[in-house]
Amino acid sequence: MESKADRIRRVLSDGAAAPLAPAQPRLREVSPSRELERATIDPELRKRLDALGLVAATQVAPPVRHRLPDEEELAPPRHGLKPPVLDFDWIAVPDAGPRDDPTALAELVGAAERTTPHGSFLFVERRFDLSHTHGRIVLRDALDHPVSLKRRERGPCGRTALQAADPVFIDTETSGLAGGTGTVAFLVGAGWVEGEQFVLRQYYMRDYPEEAALLHALDEDIGDRPLVSFNGRSFDWPLLTTRWQMNRAHIGAGGTAPRAHLDLLPSARRLWSSTLHSHSLATLERHVIGLERGADLPGWMIPSAWFDYLRSGWGGTIAHAFRHNEIDVVSMLALFARVGAILEEPAGGVEAHADRVGTAKLLLDLDDAPRARACLEAGVEHANSEDVRPLRRLLGHLCRRDGEWDAALTHWKHVARGSAFDAEAYEQVAKLYEHRLRDFAAALRWTEAALEHLVEGTRLYEAFAHRATRVRGKLARS
Amino acid sequence: MIGPNDPTQDRLTQERQAPSRPTSSNEDARASRVHAVLDEIVHDPGLQGCVVAHRVLPAEDAKYAPIPDGLDPRLTPALAERGIEQLYTHQRAAYDHVAARKHTVVVTPTASGKTLCYNLPVLDALLNDPGARALYLFPTKALSRDQSAELTALMQATTQKSPAEMGVALGAAVYDGDTPPSERRVVRDRAHVVLSNPDMLHSAILPHHARWMRLFENLKYVVIDELHTYRGVFGSHLANVLRRLRRVCRFHGSDPIFICSSATIANAKDFAERLLELPVEVVEENGAPLGERHFLMINPPITNHALGLRASYLGVARRVASKFLKSMVHTIVFCGSRTTTEVMTKYLKDLFRPRVDRVPRIVGYRGGYLPRERRSIETGLRDGSILGVVSTNALELGIDIGALDACVIAGYPGTVASTRQQAGRAGRRQGASAGVLILRSHPLDQYLADHPEFLLEASPESAQINPDNLQILVSHLKCAAFELPIEDEETFGTSIDSHEDQEGLLGYLEEHGVVRHTGGRWHWSADSYPATDISLRSVTSTNFVVVDTTKNQNDVIAEVDYSWAFTTLYEGAIYMLQSEQYHVDKLDWDRRKAFVRKVESEYYTDAMSYAKVKVLQILRERASARPIPAAGAQYGEVEVIRKAIGYKKIKFYTQENLGWGDILLPEDIYHTQSSWITIPEPVIEALGVPARVPQSDLIDALHGLSNLLHGLASLLLMCDGRDMGVVIGDQRQEWFLQPSMPGQPGEKPPERFEPTIFLYDQYSGGIGLAEALHPLFPELLEGARERLLSCACPSGCPSCVGPELEVGTRAKGLALELVGLLLAEAPATVGSS
């Protein structure tokens, strides 16, 4: 019969296994058996410190980041799509395990010790075939389309787009969410495409002194390759940069070289701006990638899970962080595939809830106005009337920018004809008539129509009244 | 001497340092207006015999030294453009010390061109090495903005005046809570001089020092302006922040020179060395010229001889300020509290109310006003469009408010240094200026009325800090571990008693899961950011906002810090802002919001609170060399419980009590240090309690004695009276004397008890006052006896034990007997009691 450890190893190497009952991760009370160099405390001093209640203020704060309830994550259903059944499963780490045994965690997660000139650390490598499916995504799909970079993402070489085969997909698990020099990245996941495989490496420090070795190896592995991350431009990468700087006396400047860096979070916020209320990776997995994580260690518990490991040496909880981190990295590759597909064919049936206005705005950020227009125009053709007002509004601006006055007029008139009064649309129509088409009679008609909707004395009313006076003058002179 | 500290003249751009410039007719006119008003005050029949001191300090000439030969050639024309052809002696001395790589403290009056003392060596160094960096720290945001503008102008002048190939574009930038996030990166990487404050250094810069690598690797100078403001808790915190700063500098390989400036304090060298934990050179001789300065002390006339009551000091202050204002003399009035500031602003505005045309602008200024409003007041003062300003000590610092001619101080501010700083707000390099101190009926003020020389001649206070206060030290040890792991052999600061203590503290933190000891280092090991839990200035950092609901606008009109909220924002309070009155309708304690509504009220409110103490640990039992024969004096750590219980409604002008209200607020609890004196049972028996002296009289006597001891203690320790609290209780801390609301008599003490007077530091953690007081108890009691014997009142007045109405008729006599018994001599007697 297969032993538990064998089963775990098999699951780790296969990447797929028969579903296990999801275990609810929980933190356990553990005896501080691994505390090494204990200091002696004068009893008088202890009494004074106790009386002052000094440490109470620093007790770990209660969790502040709660996951939104599922139903709140999705905007009112309008696409009629339900999250598909998951086709990915992972190991549920057993809620027990050997204590005080440094090999225990290594066994649980299939890790080995890796040695560097600066010491050793715990290292995991897993390889996924590109035919592997993650949610609804086949990993190879990521190779189909490059993803363009915004100006500030391009790095010193001025790369304008990334192919999935170029970058390192990177994610960290840290000892805190506050940042600052007292926060360390104790687990780093980095993945990249190598031939027909996606290689995923995890770098884990079993205690603070292993940090230099971890950073050295990470730097060695990723070199100056470009990066893809999820919120990494503001969190993971600055934090890693800080860690390299803090250790530079031992290991040199390390991975601080400037490079191209695509952060998928801002793109996701654009693409699903109105269709998803939350843009956490877990939400995107559920609704965009089609993946249900099942039991997972929530992000806010990860720091205390590591501190717990430091004190007890017990790997049962922290192993969940390895799984969490691995899914994060693989999901980034899947998300890269989705984003690439949407940006490549924005005019086609936009998939996976993507928001057309948001998609168009992202394309504009990427200096791709033609595709932005195509995306919006396709949306106008396909959807019902109330839906298209935001699309036409953006189209109105774009057409005007391109000097297509008649097209702009058409879009703005459509917006103006909507059920609710829209001052901007009236203003745009009046402006186009007055300044571009020089049809002052029409300009006056639209201005006066707007005035009927407005309350006298408001700033908006005054602006339209001013316009009316001016247009009347022009009309009289023409 | 009371020096004129006109801050504008500290600003290079404001006035040229040209020698012997002829006095303009405008200056003459201003000086003669000041003289005329002084004449009026001295001859005012209403103030007959009230001017207890009038000191005139003659004008002083400037003392110059040449610009140093080695100075960067680009600086010379930039200085010349500002009319500076030579330096004042102190500016040159500071330059020479810094050039010799000595940490330097410049102690001269504010009007003396102190800014150049640090700007000159710093700019000189930056021009020679554009990779170098400097960090300037100011106690307030307003001061950093002020200085940034000036420094930038000087930097630009050096660039413009030099040929293009020599030009180095130096940049100075403010980094504080108001710096937009988009600019922060630029400040971190590009600014040659970063101007900030200790709070920002503590909470945002040091914990992210790796991002500030460019600054810390190249940090050559740290400038700390207004060093004297860092006394007490704030200073004790700053000393620890500087320990952290130097650790971080060492890590990045820099070793900056510290240049500090300070107003006059008694112990500048000791204080700076305690704060910096480095040897410093002190530059004290002022080379800047000074105009003629008048300083008057006025003791309000006695209005009721029987009760020893004097006219209200606020009334007299109003009378004196009105004289200046009516003669169009630009005047600043300092008041002791926010409430009196607002009341005085209203009074002075009312003065000009009937006039509808060209009403001179009179404004209030205090903490709690929004920054925008404060900026506009500062501008109005500088350009002269505001004639009068009424302020708390908020304007004591060197914020640029322009040239004022007169200063009225309503009530002794509590310290000699503060008095000089405040008086110095009036006074310029040329022409006459006047400072007038109006004394209150407090024992302290009345002592000064008897001994004006104390104020005029004594050296100002020593500034005290205690960087090793356990609470403060542990807080910063946590921050230090967060910033860089603490090595086993490393000592945090120089004055930790022993290395084992530090190990014990870190071990304690490890037990609580905050740090982890491994590989010979203590690593931060918690999911938190310790600096956010620690405010450098007070116990709690959460401010209350005041929301104006008049006309449903819901505008935030002010911010009030936690400890003030207790006594100003309770429901029913009249909250005053720019002398407008607002009724506090609702106080949302949890969300830190007070909802107010504008009203026309004929009264203002004054909160009453009580305090209790609980002894946590006795640290010292007996007072040093000279024991008090018949009393126990102890020192230790205590818990203070403060609670506001009610408020009085007081009518404007008449001060009539119109009624009472309850305050329903939670208790404020903090740990601090206290020294206390216990009166043992035999002494109580010897006094004749209860046969000869009923217990209620004993309590009156204790009340009077504690008033007196509190005032004398702050004089003895040379601290502000508000730094210490006093409370009377029984030795077992089961009963405390509390103010009672009408109809609710206070709790009675147990029949037999050993009365104890607790004097404690009014700051969480304590700042060393109680500790310093403990060995001084014998002197304190003797001072009390001397004051009781010399006070001419028959049976108690505000100048000794307090007014008879408050403490009863027997308090003075019994207090004297009590002190006599404690000092174990035959009880003295007071003739008339």
Per-residue pLDDT band for B280 (boundaries 50, 70, 90) equals: very high
B579, amino acid identity: S
Do B74 and B97 touch, CB atoms closer than 8 A? no
Is the per-residue pLDDT at A66 higher than 70? no
CB contact under 8 A, A57 and B506: no
Q: How far apart are CA B16 and CA B429, in angstroms?
A: 11
Do A395 and A389 touch, CB atoms closer than 8 A? no
B798-814 residue pLDDT tens: 667 876 666 778 888 89
Q: What is the CATH number of the domain that holds A336?
A: 3.30.420
Q: What are phi and psi of B74, to 5 degrees?
A: -75, -20
Other beta carbons within 10 angstroms of residue B626's beta carbon come to: 12
Q: What are phi and psi of B47, to 5 degrees?
A: -115, 20
Within B2-57, strands assigned E span 51-57
Measuring CA to CA, which residue among B716, B193, B781, B94 is closest to residue B464? B716
pLDDT at B429: 67
Do B270 and B264 touch, CB atoms closer than 8 A? no
Q: What is the mean pLDDT of residues B764-771?
A: 76
Task: Mark whether A271 and A377 lie in a shared domain.
Answer: no
- Tell whether B514 lies on the interface with A, counting CB pairs under 8 A: yes
Mutation site, A55, A205, A235, interface B, largest B CB count within 10 A: A55
Q: How far apart are CA B537 and CA B234, in angstroms?
A: 5
B-contacting residues in A 172-191 (Cβ below 8 Å) = 175-182
Q: How far does B212 lie from chain A, in Å, by closest CA?
A: 10
- Pick B793 or B733 by higher pLDDT: B733
State how far the alpha carbon of B391 is from the alpha carbons of B238, B348, B377, B643, in Å: 26, 12, 11, 27
Cβ burial B558-585 (10 Å sphere, 16+ → b, else e): bbbbbbbbbbbbbbbbbbbbbbbbbbbe
- Token pair of A336 as six digits: 């890269």
Q: What are phi and psi of A252, to 5 degrees?
A: 80, 180
CA angle B608, B609, B614 (to 5 degrees): 165
pLDDT at A9: 45
pLDDT at A35: 44
Burial of A115 by CB count in 10 Å (0-12 exposed, 13-18 middle, 19+ buried)? exposed
Hey, do B45-60+291-457 and B470-528 end up sharing a CATH topology, with the first three levels equal? no
CB contact under 8 A, A307 and B525: yes
Whether A273 maps to a domain, the answer reads yes
Q: How far apart are CA B821 and CA B824, in angstroms?
A: 5
Domain hosting A113: range is 4-22+71-344
Q: How far apart are CA B329 and CA B33, in angstroms?
A: 7
Q: What is the mean pLDDT of residues B314-325?
A: 92
Whether A203 maps to a domain, the answer reads yes
- Pick B528 or B278 by higher pLDDT: B278
Burial of A31 by CB count in 10 Å (0-12 exposed, 13-18 middle, 19+ buried)? exposed
pTM: 0.76
Is the per-residue pLDDT at B579 higher than 90? no
- The minimal CB distance from B504 to the residues A45, A242, A303 is found for A45
CB contact under 8 A, B507 and A40: yes
Q: How far does B115 lie from chain A, in Å, by closest CA?
A: 33
Mean pLDDT of chain B: 82
User: For chain B, how big is the Rg over CA atoms in Å?
Assistant: 28
Report the interhelical angle of B777-790 vs B811-822 (nearest 10°): 140
pLDDT at B622: 65
B378-410 residue pLDDT tens: 888 888 888 999 998 777 766 667 678 899 999
pLDDT at B556: 79
The class of domain B66-283 in CATH terms is alpha beta
Task: Mark whether A293 and A353 lie in a shared domain.
Answer: no
B183-237 residue pLDDT tens: 888 899 889 999 999 999 999 999 999 999 999 999 999 999 989 888 777 888 8
Q: How far apart are CA B531 and CA B534, in angstroms?
A: 5
Is the per-residue pLDDT at B282 higher than 90? yes
Other beta carbons within 10 angstroms of residue B357's beta carbon come to: 4
Please report, to the nearest 10 degrees, the dihedral formed by the alpha carbons of residues A190, A193, A196, A199 taken in order: -10
pLDDT at B8: 35
Is the per-residue pLDDT at B634 higher than 60? yes
Mean pLDDT of chain A: 79
CB contact under 8 A, A40 and B617: no
Pairing of strands B302-304, B309-310: antiparallel
Q: What is the mean pLDDT of residues A395-418?
A: 88
Task: Mark whether A356 and A456 lie in a shared domain.
Answer: no
Look at residue B125 and give its three-state secondary structure. Answer: helix
Is the per-residue pLDDT at B569 higher than 80? yes
Per-residue pLDDT band for B175 (boundaries 50, 70, 90) equals: very high
pLDDT at A34: 45
- Pick B814 or A24 by higher pLDDT: B814
Among A401, A417, A433, residue at a domain's last position: A417
- Token pair of B641 as six digits: 């419980």
Minimum mean pLDDT range among A182-196, A241-255, B350-364, B585-599: B350-364
Tell me the Ramachandran region of residue B589: left when phi exceeds 0, alpha when psi lies from -120 to 50, beta otherwise. Answer: alpha
C-alpha B270: how far from chain center: 19
- How many CA atoms are closer than 13 Å to the CA of A162, on its beta-carbon side? 31
> For the domain B45-60+291-457, what is the CATH superfamily, name and number?
P-loop containing nucleotide triphosphate hydrolases (3.40.50.300)
Task: Mark whether A371 and A478 lie in a shared domain.
Answer: no
Task: Mark whether A17 and A149 lie in a shared domain.
Answer: yes
Please report, to the nearest 10 degrees, the dihedral formed by the alpha carbons of residues A37, A43, A49, A51 taken in order: 150
Residue with tokens 């818990």: B639
Task: Mark whether A429 and A413 lie in a shared domain.
Answer: no
* Torsion A186-A192-A194-A200 (CA) sign: positive
Task: Mark whether A403 and A444 lie in a shared domain.
Answer: no
Do B287 and B90 touch, CB atoms closer than 8 A? yes
Whether A52 maps to a domain, the answer reads no
Whether A224 maps to a domain, the answer reads yes
Q: How far apart are CA A339 and CA A347, in angstroms?
A: 14
Per-residue pLDDT band for A19 (boundaries 50, 70, 90) equals: very low
Please report, to the nearest 10 degrees, the dihedral formed by the alpha carbons of residues B261, B262, B267, B273 taken in order: -30
A-contacting residues in B 528-547 (Cβ below 8 Å) = 528-530, 532-533
Tell me the Ramachandran region of residue B551: left when phi exceeds 0, alpha when psi lies from -120 to 50, beta otherwise. Answer: left
Is the per-residue pLDDT at B515 higher than 80? yes
Whether A42 maps to a domain, the answer reads no
Q: What are phi and psi of B591, to 5 degrees?
A: -95, 5
pLDDT at A78: 33
- The minimal CB distance from A45 to the residues B501, B514, B519 is found for B501
Per-residue pLDDT band for B738 (boundaries 50, 70, 90) equals: confident
Per-residue pLDDT band for B166 (boundaries 50, 70, 90) equals: very low
pLDDT at A279: 86
Among A313, A344, A375, residue at a domain's last position: A344
Q: What is the mean pLDDT of residues B273-290?
A: 91
pLDDT at A313: 81
CB contact under 8 A, A40 and B533: no
pLDDT at B745: 59
Q: How far apart are CA B129 and CA B120, in angstroms?
A: 14
- How many CA atoms are closer than 13 Å to the CA of B364, on its beta-carbon side? 25
pLDDT at A249: 79
Q: What is the mean pLDDT of residues B117-131?
A: 93
Whether A367 maps to a domain, the answer reads yes
Whether A43 maps to a domain, the answer reads no
Is the per-residue pLDDT at B3 higher than 50? no
* CATH of the domain spanning B470-528, picked from 3.30.450, 1.10.10, 1.10.1740, 3.20.190: 1.10.10
Whether A173 maps to a domain, the answer reads yes
A-to-B residue pairs, Cβ atoms closer than 8 angstroms: 136
Domain spans, chain B = 45-60+291-457, 66-283, 470-528, 544-601, 609-822
CB contact under 8 A, A37 and B518: yes
Per-residue pLDDT band for B718 (boundaries 50, 70, 90) equals: low
Q: What is the mean pLDDT of residues A305-332?
A: 89
Look at residue B295 and give its three-state secondary structure. Answer: strand
Task: Mark whether A315 and A353 lie in a shared domain.
Answer: no
Look at residue B663 and give its three-state secondary structure. Answer: coil
Is the per-residue pLDDT at B106 higher than 80? yes
Q: Which helix (H) or strand (E) holds A137?
A: strand A137-138
Q: How many domains does chain A have?
A: 3
In the beta sheet, which residues pair with residue B612?
Answer: B641
Task: Mark whether A139 and A247 lie in a shared domain.
Answer: yes
Among A324, A344, A364, residue at a domain's last position: A344
pLDDT at A71: 34
Is the per-residue pLDDT at A37 higher than 60? no
Per-residue pLDDT band for A139 (boundaries 50, 70, 90) equals: very high
B520-549 residue pLDDT tens: 999 999 988 888 877 776 544 456 888 888
Closest alpha carbon within chain A to B486: A182
- Tell whether B589 lies on the interface with A, counting CB pairs under 8 A: no
Q: What are phi and psi of A37, to 5 degrees?
A: -100, 90
pLDDT at B109: 75
A1-11 residue pLDDT tens: 455 445 444 43
Q: How far apart are CA B739 and CA B663, in angstroms?
A: 13
Percent of chain B residues past pLDDT 70, beyond the cut: 84
Task: Mark whether A306 and A244 lie in a shared domain.
Answer: yes
Most confident of A143-147, A201-205, B186-190: A201-205
Is the per-residue pLDDT at A290 higher than 50? yes
State how far the alpha carbon of A123 is from the alpha carbons of A101, A202, A322, in Å: 17, 6, 11
Minimum mean pLDDT range among B59-63, B315-319, B367-371: B367-371
Q: What is the DSSP string of B49-87?
A: TTEEEEEEEPPB---EEPPPTTS-TTHHHHHHHTT-SSE
Do B754 and B680 touch, CB atoms closer than 8 A? yes
Pairing of strands B755-761, B668-678: antiparallel
Q: How far does A275 lie from chain B, in Å, by closest CA?
A: 29
Q: Which helix (H) or strand (E) holds A400?
A: helix A389-401
Task: Mark whether A100 and A130 lie in a shared domain.
Answer: yes
- The minimal CB distance from A177 to the residues B470, B481, B527 is found for B527
Task: Mark whether A282 and A366 lie in a shared domain.
Answer: no
Do B531 and B241 touch, CB atoms closer than 8 A? no
Q: How far does A44 lie from chain B, in Å, by closest CA?
A: 10
Q: What is the mean pLDDT of residues B324-330?
A: 90
Measuring CA to CA, which residue among B577, B578, B583 is closest to residue B605? B583
Percent of chain B residues past pLDDT 90, beyond the cut: 28
